[in-house]
Each structure stands twice: as structure tokens, then as C-alpha cells.
Structure 1
């Protein structure tokens, strides 16, 4: 009854169905890997909020090169942990990171190098401030950083990628991203390979700054894609089986009996 499945035409259809289902399963597996990866990131973010801060050196290796160079990036499992570090802010090299959104408002994040006792520096994102009147890219009046020694507590954040061109506007460094390698090239000292999102500071930070939160990744979206691709794979194989069964019944001369519409039956109409 199903010998027709061994014909070249049907073998080709089977091969196509298996290939399509295999691709869909692999796409589902890829999304599953992304789900696990994003879940791990979310877990590190949550763990970082709960933990006590550790010295910067425990989370981030010190740079060993000369001025303008960048140290090693943090190990993946060390991102988002809370650290503490003491130094002096370099107010001559404040960086305004434009186009950043907090509470649905577009403004600037203020990144300031914190120079440590060994002469190296770590970039500290001191927080978000609104633009000056005149538009979203109007340079704000940045509150001065505390003079003298400052102790910072915050979370390690990996360098950002993307369009990270650095330029000076009105004497102030500006960029669209906190790209540590790009910013380090503008600075007169070696820079650590990640930056710190400020949580607390001694002396206290100016209240105009709003803390920058770390958003969780949307891992459930990836899980939804996993289910979607695997369902498509199952539907492809089911569709092949359904079409094959239908063809087998046709070749066997089996006619599906469907309920008759007695209202449309000519004999019924004549009798009435």
C-alpha cells in the first residue's frame, strides 16, 4: 500500500522534509543555548546585587601596559559582581556618554576615570543626568566630582561594543558607548579592562545623578523560540505523514464518506 514511498518523487519529498525538520531542530537548539546563556547572565546580575563588595583586584586584573593601554577584561563569571576601590577622580577627562535612556528620558551617563595609587585608572560610570535645555544632545552642566580621595562601590560591567567613536565637544570627551579601549586611547594612564557602575560613593555623590541599573536579558523570548522551532519541525514530519497517508488511500480507491446534507438532497426536496 505504501510502496509508492520508495519512488524517486516521494524519496525526494522525504529528504526535503527531513532536511527542513533537521534545520528547525538545530535552530531550536541554538535558541536553547542562548536561553541558557542569558539565564546565566541574569543569575550573575542578581547575585551581584546580593553579594558584599570585594576589592577591585579580586574581580579585575590590573593593566600592565603604558599610558592609553587597556588591561585584561574580566572573566565572564566576574562581570556584575560588586567591588570597592579607592582613588582620585580625574576631572580633566570626564566622558559624556550621550543617547542614554533612564525612566523613558534621554540624557547622558557621566563616566569619570578614577586614578588609583599605582597610577592606573578604572572608569567609573557615576550615573545619568538629563541634558541641558535645548534638546537630547545638549551638553549638561556636570556636577563636580569630589576632590581628594574617593571610595567607590559598584558593579563590574564589561566594555561595550558598537559605534564607539570618541570626540571632544567644547573640550569634553563624548561617545555613544562606554568602550574602554576607545576611551583609554584618550587618557594619559593605563586603564582597567572594564568599567564600574557606581552604587555608592564616599564622599556621597551629587543627588542629581540617577543610578544606572543593569537590565535583565529577555531569556524567556529565547525559550519561546525553542518551542516554536521544535513545533515547526514536528509539524513538518506530521505533514509528510498526513500527505503520504492521503496518497495511499487515494491509490487504494478509498473514498472518504462524508455526512450528506439532507436539506440539499434532491429526493428530500422532492418529497417535501
Structure 2
């Protein structure tokens, strides 16, 4: 009765089930790794944000990016803003994550002549995207800025394409190496995401960029458990289908055998004795 398992249909079904089990297990571990990565990332951000501020030169230098463990660390820098080489970063969202505009990227020239790229915040895009937007002026004179140190943006890491032929003073990525070429001076690796300025500006400034979310861990662990449950359900489902097919075939065989026996009895001639005897 189990010979049906050797049929083409059941062989294909069994092979699909055998392929799904390891695939689902692997997908579960992939989600688990994403969960662990998210937890580690949140712990890194929390540790960096709560650490005491340090001069930016302790964590980076010209042609040297901050280490991964130092990302989001609070740093300080002192110098004067270079508005001539100020650029805007296209297609960036504001705090509401919906409005499209620009990040304002202004070099801060330190006393030793090196530059620090400062992301001063977000401004809304105007009607003409081919022209340089109206940007609030930074504070004049010497200032001390405080902010989160960030790694250079790349297309590979961010998924943002670095489009050629952009309007003047507009860029797609915040990248210290690219800006070093435009500035013609040494630029510290990475950039500073502004959180405070001393002395305080007396004019309106770009909208500050909020802290990165370091509380949510997402549903990756739940997805991992789901995939593992699915992998366990495959052999259970296969067994249920096999038992159902077995019962259906057994019932059909019993009905066929019963019908054959009834037909055989109807075709058998009855003897005189069976008809009640002869008179």
C-alpha cells in the first residue's frame, strides 16, 4: 500500500520537502545573525553616546577614518567655518523621515590648517533642485563644535549612488577624501554630525539630526523562530499527507474488493436445492 511513495508525484514532493528543511533552517540562522548584529549595533551606539567627549583628533586624522568601535562617539573640534567650500548633500530626509531636502556640509578649519567636515543639519529642498539652496549661515569667528563622529559614506555601505554631473556644490555622499580634493587641504577622515555649538548661534540654523535609533531590535528573532517552526512542520506535514494517502487508497481498495465480491455472487447460478428443492 505504500508503493505510491515511489510514484513521480510523491518522489518530487519528498525531494522538495528535503530541500526546504535545510533552507528554512539556514534562513532562521540568517535572521538570528541579523538580530545579534542589531543588538551589538545598539550596544555600540549606546556606549558611544554615553562616553565623555574627546577632541576629534584623538579618533581620526587626515586619510585615517575613525575605528568602527568609535562611531557615534561624542567629539569636539575648534576652528572657523569655511563657507566658500560649503556643499549640500542631496536627497536626505528630515527628522520626520518623510520630507526630502539636503544635509548642509561645512568644513571647519582648525588652527593647524586641517579641515573637519561638519554636517550642520538638514534643510528643506526648494523648488529648483539645480541651484544651490538658501543655507543658513554658520556662526562667524572661532567656534567649538560638539557632535557625533561618523564614518565616511560610500556607495557600497550606504547604497546611495554617487551620480556624476550634479549641480555645483551639490554631492550625494559625505566623503572626506572627495572633499579633500575640492578643498585642496588635509581633511580628517569621517565627519562630525553636529549636536551643539559654542558660543551659541544667534541666527536660525539647519535642523539638527536626531540621535540614531538604538532602542529597537526589530522582529528578526521572531522571524528566526518562525523559519525553524516551518522547517519542523515540513516532515510533520509530509507524514500527515502520507497517512491520508494511505487511508484513501485502503478505502478505495476495500470498496473495489467489496464491489467485486458482490458482482461475483450475482453471477453465480443457484442450484435447485438453493431454490427450495424440486417438486
Band of TM-score, shorter chain? 0.7 to 0.9
Matched, 1:77 2:69: yes
For the residue of structure 2 that corresponds to 1:193, the secondary structure is coil
For the residue of structure 2 that corresponds to 1:148, the secondary structure is coil
Q: Which protein has the larger Cα radius of gyration, Structure 1 or Structure 2?
A: 2
Displacement after TM superposition at 1:111 (Å): 0.5
Distance 1:185 1:177 in 2: 14
Displacement after TM superposition at 1:175 (Å): 1.3
- What is the root-mean-square deviation of aligned Cα atoms in Å? 3.0
In structure 1, list runs of 5 or more residues that go unmatched. Answer: 64-70, 256-272
78, 81, 96: which one pairs with 1:86? 78
Matched, 1:192 2:192: no
Given that residues 44 and 77 in structure 1 are in contact (C-alpha distance below 8 angstroms), is that contact kept between their aligned partners in structure 2? yes
Q: CA 1:149–1:232 in 2, change beyond 3 Å: closer, same or farther?
A: same
Displacement after TM superposition at 1:137 (Å): 6.4
Given that residues 131 and 139 in structure 1 are in contact (C-alpha distance below 8 angstroms), is that contact kept between their aligned partners in structure 2? no
User: Which residue is 2:52 aligned to?
Assistant: 52
Farther off after superposition, 11-20 or 194-203: 11-20
Given that residues 166 and 183 in structure 1 are in contact (C-alpha distance below 8 angstroms), is that contact kept between their aligned partners in structure 2? no
Count of equivalent residues = 243
For the residue of structure 1 that corresponds to 2:188, the secondary structure is strand
Cα-to-partner distance string for 1:98-141 (whole Å, 9 max, x where unaligned) = 22221343222111112233332221101112344x35666332
Displacement after TM superposition at 1:96 (Å): 0.8
136, 142, 157: which one pairs with 1:149? 142
Q: CA 1:25–1:253 in 2, change beyond 3 Å: closer, same or farther?
A: same
Distance 2:181 2:34 in 1: 33
Given that residues 146 and 197 in structure 2 are in contact (C-alpha distance below 8 angstroms), is that contact kept between their aligned partners in structure 1? yes
For the residue of structure 1 that corresponds to 2:228, the secondary structure is helix
Q: TM-score, normalised by structure 1?
A: 0.75
Q: CA 1:153–1:14 in 2, change beyond 3 Å: closer, same or farther?
A: same
Between structures 1 and 2, the one with greater strand share? 1
Q: CA 1:48–1:207 in 2, change beyond 3 Å: closer, same or farther?
A: farther
User: Which residue is 1:259 aligned to?
Assistant: none
Displacement after TM superposition at 1:186 (Å): 1.9
Given that residues 152 and 202 in structure 1 are in contact (C-alpha distance below 8 angstroms), is that contact kept between their aligned partners in structure 2? yes
Cα-to-partner distance string for 1:25-68 (whole Å, 9 max, x where unaligned) = 111211221122122222333333333212213332x12xxxxx
